[in-house]
Copies of this chain bind each other. A is one copy, B any other.
Amino acid sequence: MTIDRNPSLTEQVMAHLKDRIRRGGFPEGRIPPETELAADLGVSRTTVRDALSRLEHEGVVVRRQGSGTYVNRPVLQVKSRLEEIWSYEQMLLDHGYTPSVRVLTVEPGTATDDDAEALEIAPGAELLVIEKLFIEDDRPAVLTRNRIPACLVDGTPSATQGRAPIYEFLEDRCGRRLAYYLSDIVPVALEGRVAEALDAPPGTPALCFEETGYDTAGSPIVKASSWFRDDLVRFRLMRRKSGG
């Protein structure tokens, strides 16, 4: 038998367990002891524990010392994990939608003081502004507005190139890998062109993400604002005492 190490053993164990959980392969919701899993799968207990830790962190299972490891039924309600949203297209797919993307604008702009501070550039510096609308079945669900320092962008992109997910754009056209976002969650009342684009009456309560994206070196490379139609996109989150 060949041992394939990519994906890693830990990831293979995770996938195996997730699959078995999905198929209802653990009656009573009880997962076998770690030592048993290790023996069955032919890996060390450490590897099994690593996989279970990560599944616990995702909320898929719960571990109780001295008792056992159990499937966490309530968490199956969570469609997409807020901390792991990476592409709004993917998020809508997770919600069971079949979204389409419309690029509204790909055009130059100038940095406001806020932009400049977040992106660590000079106020008034040139930006590339990309606005996109994510549409589910004729109903606009998400509007995003990305601002990228012009000095990072290689050439002048076309609308077609703006269609790609922003992390892909940053990688292909700017040579930077997006590592993470810091996001403020802001409640707003939709107004003006945002309300119009989202086809919602002015004054509709909505969530807005105000966020800055950083590359692997910890430098800011993109500032984004996103507005969500609450009736189409609902964020759900697991909160817990501390990290395991």
Contacts and interface: CB of A to CB of B under 8 A. Distances in A.
A84 B64 CA distance: 19
Contacts of A187: 187-188, 205-207, 230
A235 to B, nearest CB: 5
A200 to B, nearest CB: 12
Residue from A86, A187, A203, A216 with most neighbouring chain B CB atoms (10 Å): A187
Interface string A165-196: 00000000000000111111111110000000
A189 B186 contact: no
B205 A238 contact: no
A240 interface: yes
B74 A220 contact: yes
Interface string A43-82: 0000000000010011100101000001011110110001
A239 interface: yes
Given A57-B243, A62-B179, A62-B218, A184 B84 contact: no
A234 interface: yes
Nearest to A167: B241
B179 A240 contact: yes
Interface in A188-239: 188-189, 203, 205-207, 211-212, 214, 216, 218, 220, 230, 234-239
Given A62-B216, A207-B187, A181 B239 contact: yes
A2 interface: no
Contacts of A180: 59, 238-241
Given A185-B237, A186-B230, A189-B203, 17 more contacts: A57-B57, A57-B243, A59-B180, A62-B216, A82-B82, A83-B239, A84-B241, A86-B241, A180-B239, A181-B240, A182-B237, A182-B238, A184-B234, A185-B185, A187-B187, A189-B189, A189-B205
Closest 4 CB pairs of A and B: A187-B205, A180-B240, A181-B239, A185-B235
Interface of A: 54, 57-59, 62, 64, 70, 72-75, 77-78, 82-86, 179-189, 203, 205-207, 211-212, 214, 216, 218, 220, 230, 234-243
